[in-house]
Amino acid sequence: MLVTKCIVCGNVIDPPRRGKKYCSDACKSRAYFDRKKREEIIKEPEESTPVYTFDYAEYKKVKEIGCNEIFEVYCFLRKNLSGETNIQEIRDYLKEFDTTDLYDVSSISVLFKEYQKFLIVFHSGKVKITNTYGSGK
């Protein structure tokens, strides 16, 4: 099959040759680095990934006082808080973030990349979900 347009920029490949996908070395290099970025985002976390524990009852309490985040986003942001933290402090911390970057697939922000890595860990079974907030356990 004869490709006549560059798959990166859309320019005409001159002269068209079988198997040639890029119009220049610059486009070939850009395609390589774009592919590496995508691979980095979906790369499996290393074995040393820490296990997180989140409390679903705590999440429900925070939702009651005005947090509109889904549980995954809540856990992603909540993991940064440690020690004794009350519900109001958690809610205030969560409200500081603009979470729109978390859902923007075209985004190459650090927050987006970290969230994608967290989701892999979250759904891998390495996260423990409890339901004990306020029960004294």
Contact assessment for residue 116 and residue 73, using Cβ atoms and an 8 Å cutoff: no
Shared domain check, 61 and 21: no
Shared domain check, 80 and 28: no
Contact assessment for residue 1 and residue 18, using Cβ atoms and an 8 Å cutoff: yes
* Domain region containing 1: 1-43
Q: What is the pLDDT of residues 14-43, one digit of tens each?
A: 877 777 888 889 988 988 988 887 777 666
**pTM of this prediction exceeds 0.95:** no
User: Band of the pLDDT at 61, cuts 50, 70, 90?
Assistant: very high
Instruction: Please count the structural domains in the chain.
Output: 2
User: Band of the pLDDT at 60, cuts 50, 70, 90?
Assistant: very high
Q: Is residue 37 a part of any domain in this protein?
A: yes
Q: What is the pLDDT of residues 85-127, one digit of tens each?
A: 888 888 888 888 777 767 766 666 777 888 888 888 888 888 8
Shared domain check, 35 and 58: no
What's the rounded Cα separation, in Å, for the pair 76 and 121?
10
What's phi and psi for 130, nearest 5 deg?
-110, 175
Structure tokens at 94: 């969560």
- pLDDT of amino acid 40: 73
Report strand pairing: 52-55 vs 127-130. parallel
CA angle at 41 for the pair 56 and 118, rounded to the nearest 5°: 15
Query: DSSP for 2-39?
Result: B--B-TTT-PBPSS--BT---SSHHHHHHHHHHHHHHH
Shared domain check, 56 and 39: no
Measured CA to CA in angstroms, residue 119 lies from 59, 66, 107, 113 at distances of: 17, 23, 16, 10
Other Cβ atoms less than 10 A from the Cβ of 34: the count is 12
Shared domain check, 60 and 39: no
Shared domain check, 75 and 36: no
End-to-end CA distance of the chain: 66
